[in-house]
Structure 1
Amino acid sequence: MELRIMSPQEDGFVKEIQWNNEELKQEITATMQEYKSLAFTEDNIKDAKADRAKLNKLRTAFENERKQIKKQCMEPYTKFEKQVKEIVALIDEPIALIDSQIKEVDDQKKAQKQKNIEELFGSLGFQNFVTLDKIFDPKWLNASMTMSKIEEQMKSQMFQIGHELETIRKLPDFAFEAKELYKKTLDMNQAIQEGQRLAEIQKRKLAYEAEQKAKVEEQKRQEELRQKEAAQRAAEQESQGTIAEAPEMEEKPPVEPEHQKADPIMSIDFRAWGTREQLMNLRQYMIDNHIRFGKVE
């Protein structure tokens, strides 16, 4: 079975489309130079429109000729292309059938290998939180990957998981939470970062609680101070009230000495401040010296 091209042969193809392009190029270039130097005004705008129409007509003639030549050149190729695609379609049909059968055989092999991999995984004694899907490598299903190589990689992963677990257990804080995340992801870096994140939150929480406790204690101290000052003021006011009310306790006026009978009796209102002892001494002094005193209304 051989594809043979009878016509055209390699030297039979059109190598070049020959036409008077150089001659036309020189003539048109010279003509176009004349248009570049023209300056149209309102008086000769009609001529400008006529020249534009003539140039467009010339341009259209060249474009039409180009498209016609292209069509002529493409006609044999278009026919040839269609014929080749018909033959290729005939070839593609058995190729597709063979591909489907090859794929079916490959799928069966992969299914059997998948089963072998599952059995191997179950026999190695992985940590109870490790499932096959967490460590599975799609390359294991390739025909070039032997079961012995897969076993080697599995054991390596199992030992690595044990080592990473030990590293996580040594975290100073939140090792349990980090380990729980590791069991889900088998990502040691992510687990350690989670432990560090929780430790930072705990640190900020303790600092906040200490700050709040200090505020509460300061408020309590201030309140106790205010209560102490209020009690002291109340005691002072009570002492002053006792002294002020003391004159009402007298039963009869004191007897004036004989030598003072000629002196007129005078009165003066005042308020005294002092300790309880001082105020009581003042009261006794007035009694001893026969000075009448009473409550100021």
Structure 2
Amino acid sequence: MEFILEKEVGDIIPQAVVFNFDQLKQELEVSLVKYQNMVITEDATKEAKEDRAKLNALKNTIDGKRKEIKKEWNKPYVEFEDKVKVLTAMIDEPIQAIDKQVKAYEQAVKDEKAAEIKLYFDETIGDLETLVPYGKIHVPKWLNSSERLSAIKKEINAIIETIRNDIKVIKDLEMECEQQMLDKYLQSFSIAEAMAEKKRWEDQVEKMLEYEKQQELKKQQEAAKIIALERAKVSAVDAKTEEVIPGQVAIMAQEDFTTVVSTDPHQQIAEPEQKLEVLIFKVAVTPEQKKALKAFFVENKIKVGRV
């Protein structure tokens, strides 16, 4: 089958539409000069309108001929175009059918190749099977017909070896954040991202330690304040204890914190002077216990002061 024109294109299409172009152009150039830079006055308005009407009529005549010629000129082309469209439509139908079958065949070939690649990967991945799914290392261009299976296998071997070595590097660091590093690495198989995760973890730990250090320092400062206050209280008690009149004991009780028990200083037995210790405490007693406690203090010559 072959498309054949019975006449050459030059013989079919007229070389030009001939009309008095040069004459008309020259006449227009002369007659239109007066309209350049013209100023319309009240007296010249009627004449200007008449000139405008003449010019519009001439323009419409010329453009009308253009449209008429174009229509006639295009008739054979439109007829030719319609016939060509019929032929191309007839050809398109089998082209589409062939194209559909070719694509189906090519897809089947790709599917078969993909299955072979996946099978080789499964046989090679070994103990990394649960960590490295095939989909994460698949390269789309492997399915192109130009990609040889032997080259693809070498590429898979290299990928698996790199992953295995990178995981070993991470584990050899023996970091507490090992799992976080592995998780980050297995997202994109980038050792750089795994190391960035290590740095992030170290920074976080450093901040936490600094925070704990500051908290401990704060506790120590608060404890020091409490100790200072207790020492101040003890000093105050010592000062008040020294003011107690010999032979009198001040008793702190639930009912009466200022009760004073008098004793006979002549009945006191001189004993070797010993170092006194100050004890601060509060007791809840019954009236009988209160009397017994007073008696105990008197009997044992214990000085008691108000807190």
Q: Deviations over 1:130-184 (max 9, x none)?
A: 1211111222222232322221111111111112223333557523211122223
**Aligned residue number for residue 202 of structure 2:** 199
Report the 3-state secondary structure (helix = DSSP H, G, I; strand = E; otherwise coil) of the residue aligned with 1:37.
coil
Q: CA deviation at 1:13?
A: 2.0
Compared CA separation, residues 211 and 5, structure 1 to 2 (3 A): same
Partner amino acid for 2:149?
M
**Aligned residue number for residue 92 of structure 2:** 92
RMSD: 3.4
Write out aligned runs for 1:1-297 (5 A). Answer: 1-7=1-7, 9-40=9-40, 52=52, 54-126=54-126, 127-128=128-129, 129-171=131-173, 173=175, 174-233=177-236, 235-236=238-239, 238=240, 242=244
Q: Deviations over 1:233-279 (max 9, x none)?
A: 4544x258647xx9x98x9xxxxxxxxxxxxxxxxxxxxxxxxxxxx
Compared CA separation, residues 231 and 9, structure 1 to 2 (3 A): same
C-alpha distance in 2 between matches for 1:234 and 1:57: 127
Partner amino acid for 2:166?
E
**Normalized against structure 2, the TM-score is what?**
0.67
C-alpha distance in 2 between matches for 1:45 and 1:153: 89
C-alpha distance in 1 between matches for 2:230 and 2:45: 107
Partner amino acid for 2:145?
A
C-alpha distance in 2 between matches for 1:47 and 1:211: 102
Partner amino acid for 2:192?
N
Q: CA deviation at 1:51?
A: 5.1
Compared CA separation, residues 17 and 206, structure 1 to 2 (3 A): farther
Compared CA separation, residues 149 and 239, structure 1 to 2 (3 A): same
Partner amino acid for 1:16?
A
Q: CA deviation at 1:57?
A: 4.5
C-alpha distance in 2 between matches for 1:99 and 1:162: 44
Runs of 4+ in 1 over 6 A off after TM superposition: none
**Normalized against structure 1, the TM-score is what?**
0.69
C-alpha distance in 1 between matches for 2:158 and 2:32: 81
Compared CA separation, residues 2 and 218, structure 1 to 2 (3 A): same
Partner amino acid for 1:116?
E
C-alpha distance in 2 between matches for 1:46 and 1:214: 106
Partner amino acid for 2:14?
V
Unaligned ranges ≥5, structure 2: 249-259, 265-307
Compared CA separation, residues 150 and 28, structure 1 to 2 (3 A): same
